[in-house]
Amino acid sequence: MTLLFVYGTLKRGGRNHRHLAGQTCLGEARTAAGYCLFALDGYPGMVPQANDATGVVGEIWSVDDACRARLDELAGLSEGLYRREPVPLLPPFATQHVETYLYARSTEGRRQLASEWRE
Tens digits of residue pLDDT in 28-60: 999 999 999 999 988 999 999 989 989 999 999
Give the pairing type, strands 44-48 and 57-63.
Answer: unpaired
Superfamily of domain 2-103: Gamma-glutamyl cyclotransferase-like (3.10.490.10)
The model's pTM is 0.94
Taking only the tens place, the pLDDT of each residue in 79-95 is 999 999 999 999 999 99
The pLDDT value recorded for residue 10 is 96
The pLDDT value recorded for residue 41 is 87
The pLDDT value recorded for residue 57 is 97
End-to-end CA distance of the chain: 28
Domain boundaries, the chain: 2-103
